[in-house]
């Protein structure tokens, strides 16, 4: 598609081969997280470790570029502060929250101030071959293959028991790696309960998948690691998944350096260790961290 667009616009196209670095920085990270039964976010790592690191350096040092521009739905100011996109239904600030602020000073997001329908209209007006292209979905390097098929190449999947909160066996699973908090499909239940069961946690020591009702997914607090100290910032909200609800919260330091407790003003569902929690003050991204538990 990039070749078609460049040809249409009559502009040069340079292709940078970063497959080796992508494997080391994104795929290996993803596999490592799955191996310890966490839920990784490869899109976040791709942005911070590839697009706005290696690619940015290449554009600056080899091409002499003053700025790097991408098609992300987000906004940035001259100081490198990151904001939600005007079109919040397409906002990608969550995926960009770990990008270095010094890099963001030299980044431009031209469609961050537009809504998606207007972007498509502009693409149509300029005759771009992307005007009707579907939005990208899923993990780009996995392609059409199911995640289970991809992971089996790298991780031994060990089946085990599904248990309820009382520790009673209620079914079987195909390997803890395949499940994330809040998931309600992909495991076998031996009980005939009309109410759906959701993944509540994963017990790696016993190789057990713990399930329960949807109400038991809600939490009032969780821990995050590797964030800047924003515990003094007031009127924060937190988002724990792409386009997820931003919930008002407060942050407290713990005795462990770099680890904080996030106390929610109202409960959130399906808080998954390994995912990124992004903190906002209105539309401004003020910090982020990995969810620990």
Is residue 155 within 8 A of residue 40, CB to CB? The reply is no
Average pLDDT, stretch 111-117?
95
pLDDT digits (tens, 9 = 90+) for 239-285: 999 999 999 999 998 888 889 999 999 999 999 999 999 999 999 99
Please state, in angstroms and rounded to a whole number, the distance separating the CA atoms of residues 236 and 224.
Answer: 15
CATH tag, 2-125: 3.40.50.620
CATH 3.30.2310.20, applies to 218-291: no
Average pLDDT, stretch 220-228?
89
pLDDT bracket for residue 131 (50, 70, 90): confident
Domains of the chain by residue range: 2-125, 158-216, 218-291
Which structure tokens are listed for 167?
A: 């520790």
Which structure tokens are listed for 122?
A: 């502009």
Max CA separation in the chain (angstroms): 65
In this predicted structure, what is the pLDDT of residue 144? 58
What pTM does this model have?
A: 0.91
Q: Which residues are catalytic?
A: 46, 140
Question: What value does the mean pLDDT of the chain take?
Answer: 91
pLDDT digits (tens, 9 = 90+) for 152-201: 889 999 999 999 999 999 999 999 999 999 999 899 988 776 788 999 99
To 5 degrees, how large is the angle CA 84–CA 86–CA 88? 65
The mean-pLDDT minimum among 27-31, 87-91, 113-117, 224-228 falls in: 224-228
In this predicted structure, what is the pLDDT of residue 132? 76
DSSP class of residue 36 equals: T
In this predicted structure, what is the pLDDT of residue 293? 82
In this predicted structure, what is the pLDDT of residue 87? 96
Average pLDDT, stretch 11-23?
94
pLDDT bracket for residue 286 (50, 70, 90): very high
Task: Indicate the burial class of 116 (C-beta count within 10 angstroms; 0-12, 13-18, 19 or more).
Answer: middle
Neighbours of 9 (CB within 10 A): 12
Q: For residue 97, give Cα distances in angstroms to 4, 233, 263, 292.
A: 31, 17, 20, 17
Neighbours of 249 (CB within 10 A): 21
Per-residue pLDDT at 16 exceeds 80: yes
Average pLDDT, stretch 40-45?
94
Which structure tokens are listed for 175?
A: 């390997």
pLDDT bracket for residue 1 (50, 70, 90): confident
pLDDT digits (tens, 9 = 90+) for 70-112: 999 999 999 999 999 999 999 999 999 999 999 999 999 999 9
User: Class assignment of domain 158-216?
Assistant: mainly beta
HEC profile for 24-35?
A: HHHHHHHHHHHH
């Amino acid at each position: 598609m990039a070749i078609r667009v460049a040809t249409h616009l009559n502009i040069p196209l340079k292709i940078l081969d970063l497959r080796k670095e992508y494997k080391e920085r994104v795929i290996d990270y993803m596999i490592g997280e799955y191996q310890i039964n966490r839920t990784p976010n490869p899109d976040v790592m791709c942005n911070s470790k590839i697009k706005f690191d290696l690619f940015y350096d290449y554009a600056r040092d080899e091409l002499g570029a003053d700025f790097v521009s991408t098609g992300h739905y987000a906004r940035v100011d001259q100081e490198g502060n990151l904001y939600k996109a005007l079109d919040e239904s397409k906002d990608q600030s969550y995926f960009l929250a770990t990008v270095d602020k010094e890099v963001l000073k030299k980044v431009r997001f031209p469609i961050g101030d537009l809504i998606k329908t207007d972007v498509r209209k502009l693409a149509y007006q300029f005759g771009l071959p992307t005007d009707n292209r579907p939005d990208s979905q899923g993990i780009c390097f996995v392609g059409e293959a199911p995640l289970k098929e991809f992971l089996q190449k790298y991780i031994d999947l060990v089946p085990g028991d599904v248990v309820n909160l009382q520790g009673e066996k209620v079914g079987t699973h195909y390997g803890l790696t395949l499940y994330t908090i809040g998931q309600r499909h992909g495991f076998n239940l031996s009980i005939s309960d009309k109410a759906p069961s959701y993944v509540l946690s994963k017990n790696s020591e016993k190789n057990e998948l713990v399930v329960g009702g949807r109400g038991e997914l809600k939490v009032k607090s969780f821990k995050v690691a590797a964030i800047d100290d924003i515990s003094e910032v007031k009127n924060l909200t937190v988002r724990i998944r792409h386009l997820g609800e931003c919930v008002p919260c407060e942050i407290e330091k713990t005795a462990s350096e770099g680890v904080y407790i996030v106390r929610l003003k109202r409960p959130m569902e399906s808080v998954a260790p390994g995912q990124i929690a992004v903190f906002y003050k209105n539309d401004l991204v003020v910090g982020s961290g990995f969810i620990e538990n």
